[in-house]
């Protein structure tokens, strides 16, 4: 087992429950916990420096989000996403995100707009430095903030789930497209700033479509890289 999301809690100062859940999800997305691998409660507890109880709670939440699957007395395993499911994720995303962007153009707060601009600049910097995993996280954040700016909690929740799963599937992927992707992000922010829902919808739709075709073009096997 490699060590990446290892005992960051250190000696003292326990990790909060929410932080624990995020940490495990991050590690699943980053591939620390491989698809199909079994997550025994005790090893997880040892890894994150807590007891089994908070681990169980975090894993229940992750199960509800669809990252792991558990069956009674059979343990918890990381789900394996196949090509078809990756396609489905993008298809649903192509439906939901334009809706969210259109509403965001009408309802966004100045704070949210500022946050978007901040994310864009962080994204550009990450491209410069070649920090690809950071880029994936920023990308997720960007789309989550757009969804949150739509003012629809439903949309926000669903897009957030999708966004994280998509980051998982794409994982270490498409560094070439990063340039175009973040240029499109700037266009999205512009449309949202102008308050033009039609433009926002259209730009986001183009953005998602480009991501889909890029994924399809180089789709050999998404998450089946079992070594």
Query: What is the contact surface with DNA in residues (CB under 7 A)?
Result: 14-17, 20, 38-42, 45, 50-54, 56-57, 70, 72-76
Among 6, 41, 49, 65, binds a second copy (CB under 8 A): 65
Beta bridge partners of 75: 71
153 binds, among DNA, a second copy, none (CB under 5 to 8 A by kind): a second copy
d(CA 126, CA 135): 6
65 binds, among DNA, a second copy, none (CB under 5 to 8 A by kind): a second copy
Q: Is 154 in the site for a second copy (CB under 8 A)?
A: yes
Range in contact with a second copy (rule: CB under 8 A) among 29-37, 80-88, 124-132, 175-183: 80-88
Q: Is 158 in the site for a second copy (CB under 8 A)?
A: yes
Based on CB atoms, which residue is closest to DNA, 41 or 196? Answer: 41
Q: Is 72 in the site for a second copy (CB under 8 A)?
A: yes
Residue given tokens 């995303």 in the structure block: 93
63 binds, among DNA, a second copy, none (CB under 5 to 8 A by kind): a second copy
Q: How far is the CB of 16 from a second copy (least distance, A)?
A: 6
Q: How far is CA 22 from the centre of its chain?
A: 11
Say if CB 181 and CB 92 are below 8 A apart.
no
Q: How far is CA 226 from the centre of its chain?
A: 21
Based on CB atoms, which residue is closest to a second copy, 92 or 113? Answer: 92
CA distances (Å), origin 212, targets 86, 97, 147 = 10, 13, 19
Among 151, 173, 187, 206, binds a second copy (CB under 8 A): 151
Total number of residues that touch a second copy (CB under 8 A): 34
Tell me which residues touch a second copy (CB under 8 A): 16-18, 53, 56-58, 60-66, 72, 84-85, 88-89, 91-92, 95-96, 99, 151-155, 157-158, 161-162, 165
């Amino acid at each position: 087992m490699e060590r990446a999301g290892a005992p960051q809690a250190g000696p003292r100062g326990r990790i909060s429950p929410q932080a624990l859940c995020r940490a495990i999800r991050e590690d699943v997305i980053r591939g620390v916990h491989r698809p199909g691998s079994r997550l025994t409660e005790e090893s997880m507890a040892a890894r994150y420096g807590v007891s089994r109880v908070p681990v169980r709670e975090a894993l229940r939440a992750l199960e509800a989000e669809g990252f792991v699957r558990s069956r009674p007395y059979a343990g918890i395993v990381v789900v394996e996403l196949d090509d078809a499911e990756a396609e489905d994720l993008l298809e649903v995303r192509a439906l939901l995100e334009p809706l969210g962007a259109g509403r965001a153009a009408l309802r966004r707060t100045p704070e949210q707009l500022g946050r978007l601009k901040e994310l864009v600049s962080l994204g550009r910097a990450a491209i410069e430095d070649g920090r690809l995993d950071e880029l994936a996280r920023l990308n997720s954040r960007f789309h989550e903030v757009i969804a949150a700016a739509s003012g629809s909690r439903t949309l926000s929740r669903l897009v957030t789930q999708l966004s994280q799963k998509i980051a998982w599937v794409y994982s270490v992927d498409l560094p070439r497209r990063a340039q175009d992707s973040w240029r499109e992000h700037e266009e999205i922010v512009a449309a949202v700033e102008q308050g033009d829902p039609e433009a926002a919808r259209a730009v986001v739709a183009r953005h998602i479509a480009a991501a889909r075709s890029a994924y399809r073009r180089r789709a050999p096997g998404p998450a089946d890289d079992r070594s």
